[in-house]
Structure 1
């Protein structure tokens, strides 16, 4: 369950003292993604079970704002940041990368390209040897998953190192030296 309390607008920063008409844009985005995953039966991601959003009364944490309750399926495992991904053996890292790409391609197939790319949003379940991806508050429309650059995606998510620039690229002026001003 995810609970979000939305602060009402301040009179000094907004002409209106009325709260916004509903949940924040990030909550709306996540609800749409979770519903899409449920509709398509997408594996390795949470599915929306129920959602409720209502104005907060005078006893709410931020009276006049909205409070949103999202109930979604719980994904098993620990996030790769807490699991110390980069301390694993090369074989264990590769197993997790392969599992990640399988799930990630399924996410793209339903039109969602998350851009909160971080090891904290990738879960690994040691029992099932399966990967899950969570946190869909920020995403854009996904391009064609068939033409996905897997190496780039692994690098964006922190699952693979970017190679250091070659000295030739610096010498030819294609890139600046890291310490150059």
Structure 2
């Protein structure tokens, strides 16, 4: 269960600058969640790494494409449960300078897929790293900004409210999208309907969210399409066909 909304207003009240010279205004929040970084168990310093992520609509206000829309993710280290009320100087001792595995993995997977010109994933526009100020949840802890394309269409969160014929059409488009990801050697591990966007006009699916993903380098580890994927992602022929598999709860997502 998410304890609170962590991303402070001071991070979003002004346009966010990136190293490419563009600036982006932060608009409506889409969602916010927390992650337990599973890689944190291997840390030599013993720090439990908890990360919050908020996703926003964004608009370019400085740069060559004024008015261009995007999606901005702000990811930041937050205090582990029980430490959020410590004094700022005490919390500072928990600060981690290097972004967590899940922050790095999303950037790496998007870069990898973009380089291979995968059409089923958003374009990564820019990213940047900063550190939290004394008034923020974990002074000195990292803040990561990830700016990406706003893909056409809408989330499939309401997939089961669509007519049966339309659902079947979407399934075909989803198979093409996931098969393309597998062809480009990336395996997403967060199979939820809200991580699929469907562009009805072009009958095309996009797969979002790569913090829980794997880039495959060994032939034996490569994935291929299996019809079971429809059920795994909540797209079974009938609602009762859907199965619980690798849900976000298993990754500490709240």
Report the equivalent of 1:144.
222
Task: Give the CA deviation at 1:53.
Answer: 1.1
Change (3 A) 1:65 1:8: farther
Alignment correspondent of 1:25:
101
What is the rounded CA distance, in whole Å, between the counterparts of 1:106 and 1:86 in structure 2? 24
Q: Which runs of 5+ in 1 are unaligned?
A: 165-181
Kept after mapping to 2: 8 A contact 1:7/1:64: no
Instruction: Kindly indicate whether the alpha-carbon contact (under 8 Å) linking 1:51 and 1:68 is maintained by their aligned counterparts in 2.
Output: yes
Hey, what does 1:118 align to over in structure 2? 192
Conservation of the 8 A alpha-carbon contact between 1:3 and 1:67? yes
- 2 CA distance for matches of 1:34 and 1:140? 11
Write the distance in 2 (CA, Å) between the matches of 1:72 and 1:163. Answer: 33
TM-score, normalised with respect to structure 2: 0.55
Confirm or deny that 1:133 pairs with 2:207: yes
CA distance in 2, matches of 1:74, 1:130: 14
Listed as ranges, the gaps of 5+ residues in structure 2 are 1-71, 87-91, 243-254
Matches within 5 A, 1:28-177: 28-81=104-157, 84-141=158-215, 143-145=221-223, 147-149=224-226, 151-160=227-236, 161=238, 163=241
Aligned-residue CA RMSD in angstroms?
A: 2.5
Distance (whole Å) between structure 2 residues aligned to residue 163 and residue 49 of structure 1: 38
Partner of 1:131, secondary structure, is strand
Give the match's secondary structure for 2:180: helix
Higher strand share: 2
Q: Structure 2: how far apart are the matches of 1:5 and 1:163?
A: 37
Matched, 1:7 2:7: no
- SS of the residue 2:78 aligns to: coil
Deviations 1:100-152 (A, max 9, x none): 1111111112221111101111111222222111111102345434x431x21
Instruction: Give aligned pairs, total.
Output: 157
Higher RCO structure, 1 or 2 (CA under 8 Å, sep 6+)? 1
